[in-house]
Structure 1
Amino acid sequence: MSRHHQDKATFLERLIFNNRPAVIMLCLLVSVFLFWQATLIRPSTSFEKMIPLKHPFIERMLEHRNDLANLGNTVRISVEAVNGDIFNKDYMETLRQINDKAFYIPGVDRSGMKSLWSPSVRWTEVTEEGFAGGEVIPQSYDGSPDSLDLLRSNILKSGQVGRLVANDFKSSIVDIPLLESYPDPNDQGTLVKLDYQQFSHSLEEKIRDKFQAQNPNVKVHIVGFAKKVGDLIDGLLMVVMFFGVAFVITLVLLYFFTWCIRSTIAVLVTTLVAVTWQLGLMHAFGFGLDPYSMLVPFLIFAIGISHGVQKINGIALQSSDADNALTAARRTFRQLFLPGMIAILADAVGFITLLIIDIGVIRELALGASIGVAVIVFTNLILLPVAISYVGISKRAIERSKKDSVREHPFWRALSNFASAKVAPVSVALAIVAMAGGLWYGHNLKIGDLDQGAPELRPDSRYNRDNQFIIDHYATSSDVLVVMVKSAAEGCSRYETLQPMDELMWQLDNTVGVQSTMSLVTVSKQVIKGMNEGNLKWESLSRNPEVLNSSVARADGLYNGDCSLAPLLVFLNDHKAETLDRAVAVVKQFAASHDHDGLQFQLAAGNAGIEAATNEVIKQAELTILVLVYLCVAVMCLITFRSFAATLCIVLPLVLTSVLGNALMAFMGIGVKVATLPVVALGVGIGVDYGIYIYSRLESFLRAGLPLQEAYYQTLKSTGKAVLFTGLCLAIGVCTWIFSAIKFQADMGLMLTFMLLWNMFGALWLLPALARFLIKPEKMAGKQGGSLFAH
């Protein structure tokens, strides 16, 4: 470069381009190391990462985890008799084998397993001589017709119909509590974390596939958190396929944009290097891939392509009057490094705001995305220009760029009318109407899940079909809210404890969405009735302490060791947000008026309790996240452009996109939950790039003295086509997610596609219209101060 150009170069530019071989070698060494690290990363998740550990509900649940051994992370296997009922020798033998096989799967809490074959599952009846009882399947069982008749009688007397046995007697359940960590079978001194994917595969291979093939008259249904997560991980492995599709689409579109295979490959390779670095660093820092963070490489690829296209576009424009590829690369680096850096910082700040949500998977997603955008600084802002300074851009692409820079563009000329005095007021008026409509319809947006079953999976997925089978055939659903009733030691069986529990159960039983309730009260009433010849008039609580103590003696699992905690189980029709809110509100209101020193009604355990806690965290964080993201992005823009007007021009189109995005979610029936809340920060973080690149070029032309509409036309010719291409390219790549078997991934794909397109459209349409009212071109002409981009 000439001495003049060297003088204008910044220290960073001289450091990088005067040491290009060292930069290439350093990046190569880092890439080799991090590629090795990336090959070691594995799918990884845990029950505790998916829940808000600091929420009071969860803190209480974990505090009493040992007292609620069978009410936490469980899997339920329903074994259906396809023809006939369960009172069949072959069926019962298959059920026994399934029970035994499940018993030995690593990660199962064997002491808490329950099925008809469990010795702890017993029957009780009142006889002339008093109470009689025993195991539901006695030691004398041999599969004969007489023993099957006895089994039928025992089941009817056990109280398990609707719980372990279906209402129609055509299926029964094996209830399997799980351990988060368990002793390594090969090394008893080491604890192994439960691998949800491996556990899910064990259930499929050792239970479902084996026994359905062995006995055609049996059909196996499996539900539970571990099975759902396992299915999610299996489905998300399709991400690799979607990534490949997005890569091919980007390759084709990028070539048609650049008309240069060298620069196309350079952009794709440096962006893949960024993805590799991100995955490698995640593993180096001790993180794995969970169902949510598996989407981060897509985002890093999208952001990397966005910045890479801007660099290639800039180098192609500079190459028309530069002596060589090195000069063009240095000029482009000088011109675009700072706006690119600010845009990446805005991305990172948007992602980091997600850290305020106390849910492990969201925090890991935030960290993964932040690490990813940080490495883009090195790969796409530094490595890419250095690589292009060696390989250059084809003469064909340079000639095309030269022609584009001098010829009239009817399309860009037409779009420049968005900045005209006639069109701008109409655009702003339409934006105000769209904002008002979005805010009005957005009030229909719900927090939490809006569907039965696992909303992360498709309604017709096998898991949701299995879940629907259990809902249809059992009185106790898989959605359980557990109220922890705390009393003094040995106080759970006192009348002063049981009577308020009975009253709360009555209120809950009459709450919309509650299927049934069960607690010590349920058992006590049944036993007292039995002690009085089964007379229904006696199905009530006794005030006599001895009677109460004897009535709850066999209520296994419904009180803890010192009788200071008694769980009250609330079986819900579903875990929709409205259902949870109603049940939680009833319990909170009851606790407010009945809690005292010796008695407390505490929420909540069970999967529905966890969902309720998660919904509360999401509801509290939703507005905070939105405000923080926009505040951080606005501060970054204000520091960069040193202008409130410029900041408003960039941020207001993003706000409109967020408002319309909420309205779209309400229209599509998508709730705000763990999977969709991050889209707000991700969409704003990626979308701000468009506005920063466009405004930085627009400002430079305004400072050169051009009127606003002409300045915007020149901006569109130079940067606008890169923004338009990037928006369309990224949207096409991300929209492939919509076809995923995983519903939450499809929801995220739909929302990100919408936000990418609307952010791009807002930057091209609304930004110049706002500039017409907020920017004073005559005051900017000839000035070199103000923006950080001024030289």
Structure 2
Amino acid sequence: MGNIKQDLMPVIRDLSDFDQHSGNRLERWVFNYRPLFMLLMTLVTLVLGYMAVTRLEIRPSFEKMIPQSQPYIQNFLNNRQSLRGLGNSVRVVVENTQGDIFDPEYLEVLKQVNDQLFLTDGVDRAWMKSLWSPGVRWTEVTEEGFQGGPVMPDTYKGTPEDLEQLRRNISRAGIVGSLVASDFKSSMLIVPLLDKASATGQAIDYQQFSRMLEQQLRKKIEFAGDSTAHQSGAEGNGPYKIRVIGFAKLMADLIDGLVQVMMFFGLAVFTSLLIIYLYTRCWRSTFLVVGCSLIAVIWQLGIVAWLGYAIDPYSVLVPFLIFAIGVSHSAQKMNGIMQDIARGTHKWIAARYTFRRLFIAGVTALLADAVGFAVLMLIDIPVIQDLAITASIGVAVLIFTSLLLMPVALSYVGVGSKAAERALKIDMQSAGDHGFGRLWSLLDRFTTRKWATGAVLVATLLGAGGYVISLQLQIGDLDSGAPELRADSRYNRDNAYITSHYALSSDLFAVMVKTPPEGCLNYQTLVLADRLAWELQQYPGVQATSSLVNAVRQITAGTYEGNPKLNSIQRNQNVLNYAAQQASVNSPELFNTDCSLMPVIAYLKDHKAETLDAVVAIASKFAQENSTEDRQFLLAAGSAGIEAATNIVVREANRSMLLYVYAAVTIFCLITFRSWRATVVALLPLVLTSILCEALMVGMGIGVKVATLPVIALGVGIGVDYALYLLSVQLSFQRQGLSLADAYRKAVSFTGRVVGLVGITLAAGVVCWAWSPIKFQADMGILLTFMFLWNMLGALILIPALSHFLLRETGTVNSKEVELTVKPVKDSGHCNKSGVSHAL
């Protein structure tokens, strides 16, 4: 970090003039046994690289996407076996583009799709629904009583009479709008999925499941086996189209997008190479900086695989961040070594000097980064907790690769003589206000009252305006479909088709009515369930509701020759028992086997945050007012119910997460600076960036959800690096008696270019995400780029401006508040031949 007087680091050209026993114990272990250290690092890299290649898996999980200790989710998990079809399921639509569903060829294709899905491992076959499922039945009332049967006639052979019979059965079953499209051009298959495949006992491989959908269904049917035309995201030109939505398909599409994402990782590596080379004009040191950062990624992935963790579409972003952070810290080491070599110091000694200057500062910065990741562990969503673990592992790895391996490797290769001369020339130009030195002189002005007042005033206005806008920040999805993917993705096009052609959406919100055995047939229970359904229907975002009450009404009326006056809930228990008996045949999903649980299902028009919040408010109020010991109304099941519970956890975690991050960063700053004034100066730019980031999310139409929640914590943890690099150097010079302007000028001269390089490198590592096919990754890339660059500008502009008001007087920075990161050791006994000893 450079907060040490230059005369404490004398220029030593000859190794015989340097005391190899100087420095602390870690330095002596690392540098005095360089060959052994490099051999050990090579072996570890090879072993972890092998583990990353052979053991690492991309394995998303439905269970990890939900907050399992949230009360709503607990209610769902405790009653999951009685709620088949209200959890993880896929909906497949087969469309006839050249006719309708009453076509023998179409029905044969639909049968092929039905059989393929039915035989697929991991499908909950008993609860699968389609026109070919025997459990999809019709019922009607005749003079002789109830009649009914499967919608698809048992004797179906494709004759005109069979097709006419099928048409009548569909009408009598009341499945138009749910299993059959309103225009009769398509029909739906509802495919519930098990937690684990029944054959293997392993969690379902969503990518393999999606591959089956693409190869066995879409390719064979929609593209008629034309492999050249079957492309991801394209639609076939044949008479039939296959449309698929559901969590499993969404996760598989995200995984497929990761293949393209790896191209962006290569672009990030190339961009970093270019930036570092333009800064150093030295290829060997440039490749070393990027190489050490790539080694960090290899270590991180290897350790993750060794510990048994898997990569999912959310944590796959972590290697990008680890690489970017590694490049920035390695560049710090390279910059220090280059400056010492330029002054004539031997490359091995220069590496040790840089290690002494920067190790503690680097560890402190990485700990601040780790806090930004580790705080995510407090969020009760397993996928975010896994992200926090993998990221924390990556940060720990950087201590070995960026802080130890980098300076040792540079002690071997050094830097080119022309690059060293160029670095020295730039330092001289900066000191004389030539070249980029004019920019640093401009920054010096922010230490004066006029410029400091202006900067603080502008920052205050930006913060106030950003705060007002950030109040509009919403939790959850703000768009229909799958916001994780692009609006024009095949998944979202399929979702748009299904939404427009089917009356009932796939966004189900279920309230579980739990009673003692046989209690769901209690008259009062049915009345309250009916009242709950009515209250839900009053909200415009609810398309329709369904429960046992609907079946009881219909069957009771049918028992009395369809008398509309008896389309109601009767007090006679025998009537209710008979209605439930008939309902168990045609709609067994309406209650469990002992009639102790029945769901009241609301079909929502979308899963936007506003819709979910309103439905939760209605249902929870009703539950609080009507739940008793014998009758409980429990929220919530269904895809929309699970998402509503997730939104509640995200809303609670959003503010508490920021508080924990800032509390931890404050502690690190207090330990580092030993000054509350300096801590305030370091934190205020971060607070401004957080506020403006939330305002940017509002402007971009991004809600706070599982995919975006980690961004702000990561930005704060990484952003504090700038203050640690710049402010501590400034405080060191102030402690030596320099004025604020002179101290800041020297701090900028020594670390200003590197701070700029860090900000640009971090931003360049993630800005290319903006072109990712995965929209949530593109959003994260834009937000992180904004936070990295804005934190850099905040450090360079607001730190001197705030210092003018809080740290202007040298008396506010005394020896008790700020200590040198590197200071002479009085009792070490190990001195170099210049008579100077050092310790960390």
Which TM-score band applies after superposition, normalised by the shorter structure?
over 0.9
Q: Does structure 2 conserve the Cα–Cα contact (< 8 Å) formed by 1:313 and 1:719?
A: no
Cα distance between partner residues in 2 of 1:2 and 1:520: 90
Cα distance between partner residues in 2 of 1:302 and 1:357: 25
Q: Does structure 2 conserve the Cα–Cα contact (< 8 Å) formed by 1:52 and 1:614?
A: yes
Cα offset, 1:6, TM superposition: 5.6
Q: 1:199 aligns with which of 193, 209, 228?
A: 209
Equivalent residue runs for 1:5-16 within 5 Å: 9-16=23-30
Which residue number corresponds to residue 744 of structure 2?
712
Which residue number corresponds to residue 639 of structure 1?
671
Q: Does structure 1 conserve the Cα–Cα contact (< 8 Å) formed by 2:732 and 2:819?
A: no
Which residue number corresponds to residue 36 of structure 1?
50
CA deviation profile, 1:575-595 (whole Å, cap 9, x unmatched): 111101111111111111111
Cα distance between partner residues in 2 of 1:429 and 1:774: 15
The residue identity in structure 1 corresponding to 2:664 is: C
How much identity, in percent, do the aligned residues show?
A: 51
Q: 2:412 aligns with which of 378, 390, 400?
A: 390
Cα offset, 1:216, TM superposition: 2.4
The residue identity in structure 2 corresponding to 1:730 is: L
Which residue number corresponds to residue 147 of structure 2?
132
Distance 1:788 1:486, change over 3 A: farther
2:269 corresponds to 1:247: yes
Cα distance between partner residues in 2 of 1:473 and 1:735: 39
Equivalent residue runs for 1:559-708 within 5 Å: 559-708=591-740
Which residue number corresponds to residue 320 of structure 1?
342
Q: Does structure 1 conserve the Cα–Cα contact (< 8 Å) formed by 2:508 and 2:603?
A: yes
CA deviation profile, 1:683-740 (whole Å, cap 9, x unmatched): 1111111111111222232233332222222222221111112212221231111111
Cα distance between partner residues in 2 of 1:608 and 1:73: 11
Distance 1:780 1:382, change over 3 A: farther
Residues 478-487 or 521-530, more deviating: 521-530
2:550 corresponds to 1:522: yes
Q: Does structure 1 conserve the Cα–Cα contact (< 8 Å) formed by 2:739 and 2:808?
A: no
Which residue number corresponds to residue 23 of structure 1?
37
Q: Does structure 2 conserve the Cα–Cα contact (< 8 Å) formed by 1:476 and 1:571?
A: yes
Cα RMSD between the aligned structures? 1.6
Q: Does structure 2 conserve the Cα–Cα contact (< 8 Å) formed by 1:676 and 1:744?
A: yes
Cα offset, 1:777, TM superposition: 4.7
Distance 1:708 1:559, change over 3 A: same
Matched residue of 1:45: which SS? Answer: coil
Matched residue of 2:590: which SS? Answer: coil
Matched residue of 2:545: which SS? Answer: strand
2:209 corresponds to 1:177: no
Q: 1:532 aligns with which of 556, 560, 578?
A: 560
Matched residue of 2:512: which SS? Answer: strand
Equivalent residue runs for 1:199-238 within 5 Å: 199-214=209-224, 216-238=238-260
Q: 2:298 aligns with which of 276, 287, 291?
A: 276
The residue identity in structure 2 corresponding to 1:625 is: M
Cα offset, 1:536, TM superposition: 3.0
Matched residue of 1:557: which SS? Answer: helix
Distance 1:422 1:548, change over 3 A: same
Cα distance between partner residues in 2 of 1:24 and 1:324: 20
Q: Does structure 1 conserve the Cα–Cα contact (< 8 Å) formed by 2:20 and 2:32?
A: no
Cα distance between partner residues in 1 of 2:318 and 2:813: 42
Matched residue of 1:534: which SS? Answer: coil
Cα offset, 1:497, TM superposition: 1.0
Q: Tell me the TM-score normalised to structure 2 length.
A: 0.92
Cα offset, 1:521, TM superposition: 0.8
Cα offset, 1:308, TM superposition: 1.1
Cα distance between partner residues in 2 of 1:183 and 1:388: 55
The residue identity in structure 2 corresponding to 1:37 is: M
Answer 1 or 2: higher relative contact order, Cα 8 Å, separation at least 6: 2
CA deviation profile, 1:629-685 (whole Å, cap 9, x unmatched): 011011011111111112112111111100110111111110011111100111111
Cα offset, 1:537, TM superposition: 3.1
Cα offset, 1:413, TM superposition: 1.2
Cα offset, 1:779, TM superposition: 2.7
Q: Does structure 1 conserve the Cα–Cα contact (< 8 Å) formed by 2:64 and 2:381?
A: yes
Which residue number corresponds to residue 4 of structure 2?
none
Which residue number corresponds to residue 72 of structure 1?
87
Residues 675-684 or 5-14, more deviating: 5-14
The residue identity in structure 2 corresponding to 1:484 is: M
Matched residue of 1:182: which SS? Answer: coil
2:506 corresponds to 1:484: no
Cα offset, 1:4, TM superposition: 7.5
CA deviation profile, 1:401-432 (whole Å, cap 9, x unmatched): 21122222212111221222321111111111
Q: Tell me the TM-score normalised to structure 1 length.
A: 0.97
Matched residue of 2:244: which SS? Answer: strand
Which residue number corresponds to residue 102 of structure 2?
87
2:570 corresponds to 1:542: yes
2:137 corresponds to 1:122: yes
Cα distance between partner residues in 1 of 2:692 and 2:725: 23
Which residue number corresponds to residue 187 of structure 1?
none
Structure 2: stretches of 5+ with no match in the other structure: 1-14, 225-236, 824-840
Cα distance between partner residues in 2 of 1:513 and 1:781: 60
Which residue number corresponds to residue 419 of structure 1?
447
Q: Does structure 2 conserve the Cα–Cα contact (< 8 Å) formed by 1:350 and 1:629?
A: yes
Q: Does structure 1 conserve the Cα–Cα contact (< 8 Å) formed by 2:686 and 2:716?
A: yes
Cα offset, 1:322, TM superposition: 4.1
Matched residue of 1:512: which SS? Answer: coil
Distance 1:522 1:329, change over 3 A: same
Which residue number corresponds to residue 428 of structure 2?
406
CA deviation profile, 1:162-207 (whole Å, cap 9, x unmatched): 11111221111111111121233xxxxx512101111111111111
Matched residue of 2:327: which SS? Answer: helix
Cα distance between partner residues in 2 of 1:781 and 1:100: 77
Q: Does structure 2 conserve the Cα–Cα contact (< 8 Å) formed by 1:296 and 1:369?
A: yes
Cα offset, 1:622, TM superposition: 0.8
Matched residue of 2:462: which SS? Answer: helix
Structure 1: stretches of 5+ with no match in the other structure: 185-189
Cα offset, 1:781, TM superposition: 8.2
Matched residue of 1:566: which SS? Answer: strand
Q: Does structure 2 conserve the Cα–Cα contact (< 8 Å) formed by 1:705 and 1:782?
A: no
Q: Does structure 2 conserve the Cα–Cα contact (< 8 Å) formed by 1:640 and 1:788?
A: no
Cα distance between partner residues in 1 of 2:640 and 2:124: 21
Q: Does structure 1 conserve the Cα–Cα contact (< 8 Å) formed by 2:509 and 2:636?
A: yes
Q: Does structure 2 conserve the Cα–Cα contact (< 8 Å) formed by 1:706 and 1:781?
A: no
Q: Does structure 2 conserve the Cα–Cα contact (< 8 Å) formed by 1:343 and 1:689?
A: yes
